[in-house]
A and B are shown apart, each in its own frame.
Chain A
Amino acid sequence: MNMTDSLHILWPAFIAGALVLATHVPLGRQVLKRGIIFIDLAVAQAAATGALASQMLLGDTAVIWQQTGALVAALLMAVSLHALSKRHAHIQEALIGGSYILLTSFAVLLVSHDPHAGEYLHQALSGQILWVTPEQLAWLAAASIVVVALMRYGKQELSGFYLPLAIAVTGAVQTVGVYLVFASLIFPALASIRLVDANGIGRGLLAGIAGLVSGLIISLLADLPSGPTIVITLAISAAAVARSNRW
């Protein structure tokens, strides 16, 4: 494989991964501090179920309506998880896990009479970072800008954390897949959890970008599926950065 070929293959994946990291590193630090790490799975599943529901209700519709359905469902999920967190803070993780399996089962029942059921269920959560199109990159970039602006100017818990999280996860899961979203959220944040925001976000991004780049290169050289490879290199680079923080 020559150099231009390799670049052609890897650059959209790199940009997608970097955009996801830009929003997920600061969000991940919040998630860890609140101790609700499975919130992204619940939000991602809400988005997937929302997309399926709009597809079932409106028939074979344009992608834009599926995306609207996904976003609306994810935002509703964020609002209700926020409301629950006020009243039941001590059992919040259990409620999040519970909503995840409820939504998953609901999605299975929703499509159980559709011949393409299995494909839809699989599709909704399994974006593949290598197959990112320029169009998806544009959407992802727009979503990232909204997310960063909300985190920056949102004063309340809802507008500064829950809503941007819903938007970020909805966009990212469809482009890079649920495992890579989870890894981008958790590993860089773990690497920098003991640092204050000013240093911590930078350290987290460093760990994230190092994991992303090395994962892409290894997957190119060894011809491995890129998503899972990056998950593993993200974990390794996060561990390395966490170690170097202690010295």
Chain B
Amino acid sequence: MKTLKLFLATAVLSTASLGNAAINVFTCEPEWAALTREIGADRVRVSTAISADQDPHQVQARPSLISAVRQADLVFCNGAELEIGWLPVLLSRSANAKVQSAPGLLYAADQVTLIEQSSSADRAHGDVHAAGNPHVHLDPHRIAMVAKALTERLATLDPQGKAYYQQKLEDFLQRWQAAINKWESRASHLKDTKVVVHHRSFSYLLNWLGMHPIAEMEPKPGLPPTPKHLGQILGKVDKENIRLILFTSFNGNQGANWLAKRSGACTIQLPFSHEKSLFALYDELIDILVSKQADCL
């Protein structure tokens, strides 16, 4: 009972402190919540469906999710089929006419070009997302493009705040570009490093840093790999002398540990998102990769 009271108290407090926001934004993932806070700042009230270490493919139905979408002026999600298992149901259950399509609905993936697009022939061989790899938030240049699209959308929904959003965007882009330069120079040693990934969660990050994924542990998420597939991975790891295996918390570490034991490579658990800030997410990603690479090679 005490926890319940505490919970209710914090819920009331967090709503009260954001009293004079102009628009309500419901975001699916924490990275898009962070971006919305950068651009919208005091004019938006942001809620998020999942926390940073949760799998965006799967979400448990909580009453507050429906309630948040009901009150939203803008639903801002990743798109490219990432939330296909739960967002359509959530949108229809909310019965909020404003957010069923643009301008009340914005997908980050629609604002950029996607990598790993595939024909139907490729799909049968393990490409999960036909539209392309959805995890665009792991490329900082694409984040900048999404930020611009978000700014336009906020201005459409809240014309009075147009100048405010524009100014926040310029401020963000300036800090973001400076940060990109810093990250790129720190990570310059990572270029051309070959790695094994658990699944294609980090393709955009690897692309940006010039690293090469040589093999995937679990090409179809949720389905254990076959013996032949594991044999091929082991062969590649030995032949190409790969030292790093990347995975993230919701992948589980079983596959990565198995491969590490047999090949002597290092496992690296990378964060997939960050509750508070995109800057912090990239700081962490670069820190972990750089320090682990130094330890392992």
Contact = CB atoms under 8 A, between A and B. Distances in A.
Same complex for A and B? Answer yes
Interface of A: 1, 5-6, 8-10, 12, 108, 111-119, 121-123, 128-131, 133, 219-227
B63 A9 contact: yes
Contacts, number: 91
Nearest to B128: A115
B128 A6 contact: no
Given A122-B58, A131-B61, A5 B70 contact: yes
B57 A226 contact: no
A133 B89 contact: yes
- From DSSP, what is the main secondary structure of chain B's interface residues? loop
A224 B70 contact: no
A226 B222 contact: no
Given A131-B89, A131-B90, A112 B223 contact: yes
A118 B221 contact: yes
B185 to A, nearest CB: 38
A217 to B, nearest CB: 10
Interface residues of B, number: 35
Contact of B57 (A6, A112, A119): A119
Contact of B124 (A1, A5, A115, A131): A115
Interface centre among A6, A111, A116 (most CB of B within 10 A): A116
Interface of B: 3-4, 7-8, 11, 57-58, 60-67, 70-71, 85-86, 89-90, 92-93, 95, 123-128, 220-223, 226
Interface centre among A10, A113, A223, A227 (most CB of B within 10 A): A223
A219 B62 CA distance: 7
Contacts of B64: 1, 223
Contacts of A114: 124, 220
A209 to B, nearest CB: 19
Interface centre among B66, B85, B124, B127 (most CB of A within 10 A): B66
Contact of B60 (A5, A133, A225): A225
Given A113-B124, A119-B57, A219 B63 contact: yes
A128 B87 CA distance: 13
Contact of B4 (A128, A133, A221, A225): A221
Nearest to B93: A131
Given A115-B123, A131-B86, A223-B62, 9 more contacts: A1-B64, A8-B66, A8-B95, A108-B223, A121-B222, A122-B58, A123-B85, A131-B89, A222-B4
Contacts of B8: 221
A116 B128 contact: yes
A225 B61 contact: yes
A223 B63 contact: yes
Contacts of A225: 60-62
Contacts of A116: 128, 220
4 closest residue pairs by CB, A with B: A118-B222, A130-B61, A225-B60, A128-B61
Contact of A220 (B63, B70, B127, B223): B63
Contacts of B58: 122
B69 to A, nearest CB: 10
Contacts of B125: 115
A22 to B, nearest CB: 22
A114 B65 CA distance: 31
A128 B63 contact: no
A9 B4 contact: no
B67 A9 contact: yes
A227 B61 CA distance: 8
Contacts of B70: 5, 8
B223 A222 contact: no
B124 A130 contact: no
Contact of A224 (B62, B92, B93, B124): B62
A226 B63 contact: yes
Contacts of A123: 85
14 contacts: A5-B71, A6-B63, A112-B223, A115-B124, A115-B126, A117-B220, A117-B222, A117-B223, A119-B221, A122-B222, A130-B62, A130-B93, A133-B89, A226-B62
